[in-house]
Amino acid sequence: MGLGLLASRALRSSRIFTSPVSRNAIVRTIVSTPELQNPEASAAAQSPPEDLPIRTPVAGARVEFTNPDDAIEVFVDGYPVKIPKGMTVLQACELAGVDIPRFCYHSRLSIAGNCRMCLVEVEKSPKPVASCAMPALPGMKIKTDTPIAKKAREGVMEFLLMNHPLDCPICDQGGECDLQDQSMAFGSDRGRFTEMKRSVVDKNLGPLVKTVMTRCIQCTRCVRFATEVAGVQDLGMLGRGSGEEIGTYVEKLMTSELSGNVIDICPVGALTSKPFAFKARNWELKGTESIDVTDAVGSNIRIDSRGPEVMRILPRLNEDINEEWISDKTRFFYDGLKRQRLNDPMIRGADGRFKAVSWRDALAVVAEVIHQVKPEEIVGVAGQLSDAESMMALKDFLNKMGSNNIWCEGNGMHPNADLRSGYLLNNGISGLEKADVFLLVGTQPRVEAAMVNARIRKTVRETHAKVGYIGPPTDFNYDYQHLGTGPQTLTEIAEGRHPFYSALSNAKNPVIIVGAGIFERNDKDAIFSVVETIAKKGNIIRPDWNGLNVLLLNAAQAASLDLGLVPESEHSIESAKFVYLMGADDVSLEKVPSDAFVVYQGHHGDQSVYRANVILPAAAFTEKEGTYVNAEGCAQQTLPAVPTVGDARDDWKIIRALSEVAGVRLPYDTLGAIRNRIRTVAPNLLHMDERQPATFSALLKPESGNKTSSTPFGTAVENFYMTNSITRASKIMAQCTAMLLKK
């Protein structure tokens, strides 16, 4: 090192003597660091580091060598790094631990290479190269912090800021803006642009995405996202030169269930969240890592809260579930948490009006009534947002009261809870990427589980997998064949009479996805046996590949089946005298006898409250710690982000307290104790973020005797934006329903 430094010093001083470096005073330069004014000199001054400090890959970037022969070696700032063939220079730099500034490059989108921010110097290349679009070649010597690279970035940044308004103080992206951060890190301290800045007309993209198009830097991430991931080809790059702008040309709302993600990928404040506009700054918010419960996918989310209020919801990276996207419902339903909340225990008086009472009185009334009815007249229904702990408590409580009529809504009256593979997405969501043929039976994944649909779309886009669909006509954002509408088509495939049968049987990794809407049908078992016949014939269930999947609808479904929430008798609700609804709003209460006593425990005044006699206010998923199992059988936890509203309590605590008042005290006082109880019933619920493969294949099931009916499959989710009590209370979701749903 010492020698090199000396040599370079000598070199530099000799340069000063030999060549009169013309400090041309008239040239106004913006480069503030003097050595940048003379890049060659300082480039020569830099000597290769000899004792390299260890660098770690950026953001835990990892590399997988599918074929060890394809490995090539490149040098990033003198650090050797081994990468597979076909990787770009930028990815190589990331592996070497150098974060290259970028705007247009996004690892999940195609490469555009139009922002030029990622310029790096490559030895023997006459000019800086855009690292995001340049494939790394063996032996390439990449330099990321040379004066040339720095000057290139500074220049690009100056150009980008030329037409960018300096409205950071009123911009919602302020504080989490890539342009802001990178101009601080790589930009110059002044600009030379004195002309008029351009301005662009704002576009109306609907109730979710706010546009301030003047801030746009034309990175085209949103265009690529809409085209590639969301599958709605609405956005485009219009015009040319300085008149270039992002838009839809003909005014059109963005009718995608993933449109909110353009807010995250926009590196500047051009696309921001409309409901969140001017509400808070990102540094005021407290982030809580939680999971989403609006569908059975269990997308990983971060709940940003300020004080007692949920301000926004952002996705969290989870490669196996939601990658880094979330659906619009997940992202924007949070305002429903502030409306229609139940905050006090209430008892319906003789005049039919609810009166707020104390917890003591409310529990005493419920405990008194539950002792007056016969055990078989007690019915408990868990709602679609219930966590595993409270379902366990409910089941234990009602069992102690002598009743076994407990189920979770959406599971139908005779669910199959014995074989775990019979109600799970056995391939896993990320496992769907390996599939080459899909058969969707009575499921519309786009509205039932938007993230699963995004995964299928990704697969279809990458591998041109075939998709066959049986069900009512619906929207898909990828190519599909509509095979039929009812079970008879399924029977045809099973008997090999249908043309799709050959596609299915010739496929290497075929996948059948059965929608959970079928659970409510009377011929459910018959349909499943037909599906199993197809699976048997098409060699879909193999030791290495279980392609027979069920796509659940609700967050609570999988956990409730794991815990064995199965009703004893089919018609229990018709003869019920005491109905305990734990957040169950989608259960049909017309059949409940008029003299039955209905207790509603939940957080929103939704459909079931109209029939309830007593209301016990509970905590929403943002306010409690609870375990949820997603459609692929992966247990995950929510964490409390905000305090409970009013006098509400956690669900399991209410049942635990009620059990004591009723004289059948449940033996757990803490969440830990209740989890110990769960361990004896379904230990898989305690293994967070693990998928336990269903050990029994569905083929062990006995053949069902009854026949399939000819009624076509129905739609399980009528309105994507309103599926549960929280989303039904949300104003934003109501706006989406009014504006975005096709009539």
Positions touching other proteins (CB under 8 A) are: 25-28, 194-196, 198, 201, 203, 233-240, 242-245, 247-251, 358-360, 619, 643-644, 648-650, 653, 656-657, 660-661, 665, 669
Q: Residue 343 or 735: which CB sits closer to other proteins?
A: 343
Query: Whole-number minimum distance, CB 223 to other proteins, in Å?
Result: 9
Cα-Cα-Cα-Cα dihedral sign, residues 317, 321, 325, 331: negative
Q: Residue 117 or 619: which CB sits closer to other proteins?
A: 619
Q: Residue 192 or 542: which CB sits closer to other proteins?
A: 192
Length of the chain counted residue by residue? 743
Query: Whole-number minimum distance, CB 237 to other proteins, in Å?
Result: 6
Query: Whole-number minimum distance, CB 478 to other proteins, in Å?
Result: 14
Q: Residue 99 or 244: which CB sits closer to other proteins?
A: 244
Q: Residue 555 or 648: which CB sits closer to other proteins?
A: 648
Q: Residue 202 or 320: which CB sits closer to other proteins?
A: 202
Q: Residue 235 or 512: which CB sits closer to other proteins?
A: 235
Q: Residue 201 or 350: which CB sits closer to other proteins?
A: 201
C-alpha 600/C-alpha 334 separation (Å) is: 22
Query: Whole-number minimum distance, CB 150 to other proteins, in Å?
Result: 24
Query: Whole-number minimum distance, CB 233 to other proteins, in Å?
Result: 3
For 446, the 3-state DSSP assignment is helix
Provide the strand spans (E) within 396-480.
406-408, 437-441, 466-470
Q: How far is CA 93 from CA 63, 98, 675, in A?
A: 12, 5, 45
CA-based nearest residue to 235, from 214, 209, 196: 209
Q: How far is CA 420 from CA 22, 415, 426, 439, in A?
A: 79, 11, 9, 21
Q: Which residue has the tokens 């139009």?
A: 114
C-alpha 105/C-alpha 101 separation (Å) is: 9
Q: Residue 527 or 648: which CB sits closer to other proteins?
A: 648
Query: Whole-number minimum distance, CB 617 to other proteins, in Å?
Result: 10
C-alpha 592/C-alpha 599 separation (Å) is: 12
Query: Whole-number minimum distance, CB 235 to other proteins, in Å?
Result: 7
Backbone angles phi, psi at 380, to 5 degrees: -125, 135
Instruction: State the burial class of residue 220 (Cβ atoms within 10 Å of its Cβ: 0-12, 13-18, 19+).
Output: buried
H helices then E strands: how many in the chain? 20, 28
CA atoms within a 13 Å half-sphere pointing along the CA-CB vector of 425: 31
C-alpha 357/C-alpha 344 separation (Å) is: 7
C-alpha 130/C-alpha 642 separation (Å) is: 45
DSSP state of 317: -
CA-based nearest residue to 474, from 723, 740, 715: 715
Q: Residue 245 or 295: which CB sits closer to other proteins?
A: 245
Q: Residue 99 or 660: which CB sits closer to other proteins?
A: 660
Query: Whole-number minimum distance, CB 282 to other proteins, in Å?
Result: 27
Q: Residue 211 or 727: which CB sits closer to other proteins?
A: 211
DSSP string, 479-541: --EEEESSHHHHHHHHTT-SHHHHHHHH-SSEEEEEEGGGGGSTTHHHHHHHHHHHHHHTT-E
Query: Whole-number minimum distance, CB 402 to other proteins, in Å?
Result: 22
Query: Whole-number minimum distance, CB 244 to other proteins, in Å?
Result: 8
Q: How far is CA 304 from CA 181, 270, 294, 441, 515, in A?
A: 21, 21, 17, 37, 32
Q: Residue 558 or 648: which CB sits closer to other proteins?
A: 648
Q: Residue 315 or 640: which CB sits closer to other proteins?
A: 640
C-alpha 305/C-alpha 414 separation (Å) is: 40
Query: Whole-number minimum distance, CB 701 to other proteins, in Å?
Result: 42
Query: Whole-number minimum distance, CB 89 to other proteins, in Å?
Result: 28
C-alpha 138/C-alpha 121 separation (Å) is: 16
Query: Whole-number minimum distance, CB 243 to other proteins, in Å?
Result: 6
Residue 415: CB partners within 8 Å, gap ≥ 6? 407, 423, 519, 561, 566
- Residue 77, phi-psi category: left (phi > 0), alpha (psi -120 to 50), beta (remainder): left
Instruction: State the burial class of residue 480 (Cβ atoms within 10 Å of its Cβ: 0-12, 13-18, 19+).
Output: middle
Query: Whole-number minimum distance, CB 345 to other proteins, in Å?
Result: 11
DSSP state of 132: T
